[in-house]
């Protein structure tokens, strides 16, 4: 399948929009998910971190990233909402782990 080269690229946002259109709007969700996995695995490799902390840190970082990318219109609101819910859930998990409930 051949794709036309982008025309009238005047900013980096234009190239990001073109890349996202070529991949049927899956480039940035995939990139954010990859960042999530990388952060999660990297933090889990440290024995001082609990699973809840690792999950919370990865969720929070990707929530911020998805909000910033949502502002540019490159990911859907639903995808951004997933990371907001993951962050909320991980905060509850951390709280329960810290209180011993």
Residue 10 located in a structural domain: no
pLDDT, tens only, 27-67: 999 999 999 999 999 999 999 999 999 999 999 999 999 99
pTM for this prediction: 0.87
pLDDT value for 44: 96
- Whether 79 maps to a domain, the answer reads yes
Q: Is residue 15 part of a domain?
A: no
Q: How many domains does the chain have?
A: 1
Range of the domain at 34: 24-99
- The chain-wide mean pLDDT, for the chain, equals 92
Contact 20, 27 (CB under 8 A): yes
pLDDT at 2: 64
């Amino acid at each position: 399948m051949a794709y036309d080269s982008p025309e009238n690229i005047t900013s980096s946002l234009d190239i990001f929009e073109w890349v996202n259109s070529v991949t049927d709007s899956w480039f940035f969700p995939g990139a954010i998910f990859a960042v999530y996995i990388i952060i999660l695995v990297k933090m889990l490799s440290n024995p001082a971190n609990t699973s809840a902390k690792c999950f919370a840190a990865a969720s929070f970082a990707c929530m911020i990233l998805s909000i910033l990318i949502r502002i540019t219109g490159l990911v859907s609101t639903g995808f951004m909402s997933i990371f907001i819910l993951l962050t909320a859930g991980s905060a509850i998990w951390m709280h329960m782990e810290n209180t011993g409930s």
